[in-house]
Amino acid sequence: MISKTKIQNFNKKFDVVSVFIEHEGKILLMHRQDHKPQGNTWAMLAGKVDKGDKDLIDALVREVKEEIGLMIKKEDCRYFDGYYSRYPEFDYIYHVYHLLLKEKPVINLNLKEHKDMKWITPKDALKLNLIPDEDKCIKWFYNID
């Protein structure tokens, strides 16, 4: 469950940062490895904020480097919104960023995390087997009904 407003009895265990990496109207989606939680689903690049991260944007820069080998600049990332997310085991805040790229980057996929990736329009992304609630994030960000 994901919500724009605080969920009743919300008990945050951690924060997650995520990013819509966009190039020429397409977003980068990652195909999660089968052995990962919510395996074999598609999602934007995301990860937990670690204790060593100074703040959310530092966590995002680290996650992008770890998962696709891309060095990004903090100032190029725009914060969109934070959502309350609840899974049966835990609650967390899901922070969404946007990174608009002028040039399509070379991606070095971390195969421990993901088995594939693709550039896809937001509308076409909604047809994929997405991680739970990713459809809502896409619809909210891109104003799709």
The 3-class SS string of 2-20 reads EECCCCCCCCEEEEEEEEE
Give per-residue pLDDT as tens, 41-76. 999 999 999 999 999 999 999 999 999 999 999 999
- Of the candidates 3, 16, 2, 23, the one whose C-alpha atom is nearest the C-alpha of residue 98 is 23
Give per-residue pLDDT as tens, 71-123. 999 999 999 999 999 999 999 999 999 999 999 999 999 999 999 999 999 99
120: left (phi over 0), alpha (psi -120 to 50) or beta: beta
Residue 48: what pLDDT? 96
| Structural domains of the chain, with CATH | 2-126 (3.90.79.10)
Predicted model pTM: 0.95
Residue 111: what pLDDT? 93
